[in-house]
Amino acid sequence: TIFTNSGEEIQTLIENLYDAMGTKDSGTTYEGFRTGMADYVGSHGYTFQSTEFGTDHAGVRSWIDNEKPVAIFLLNGFHLIGDGEIVDNGTYDRYTIHNFSGNHVVLAFGYRTITYYNADGTVKENHRLYRVYTGVFEMEFGYIDIDRSLTFGGMLGVNVV
């Protein structure tokens, strides 16, 4: 599934949600997101449904497998890996990691795991990645690596019916 952020309608939607969620320069709160989405969606004749995942990453993957996005709230700084910025060089991978300050919300719609092994075949490390719409204009899509230092302020499965 690929989402797009183009056109006047999408920009208007973003601005309306920004207002409905009570977004400030510091971002949108978890509760502001939930109530703002419910109010906005309700005002257009639909119902906003959500499922809280806490730290249940298996639940998040299951939700995504059912083609539903998950809002992930990142606190106290975050990093993103842009599309095409995980390069397999044969014997090692090179990631370009972009670090940001502040709080942020990304929308996850895919996932992948990259596993590295020792010479004896034992697992050296795993990197569990969520494919996200970043909300960062210079990098529309990318990944967050949940095995790096991220502080989650919540993970919320979203559905509009």
Residue pLDDT, tens place only, 82-114: 888 888 888 788 888 888 887 888 999 999 998
Provide the token pair at 51.
């499922």
Residue 35 has, within 13 A of its CA and on its CB side, a CA count of 9
Closest by Cα among 44, 26, 30 to 158:
30
- What is the reported pLDDT for 12? 85
Give CA–CA dist 40/35, Å, rounded: 8
- Which comes out higher in pLDDT, residue 9 or 45? 45
Enter the pTM of the model.
0.83
Edge-to-edge order in the sheet of strand 70-75: 48-52, 151-160, 70-75, 104-117, 123-136, 139-145, 78-88, 93-100
pLDDT tens string 123-155: 998 889 999 998 877 788 999 988 776 788 889
pLDDT tens string 41-81: 999 999 999 999 988 999 999 999 999 999 999 888 888 98
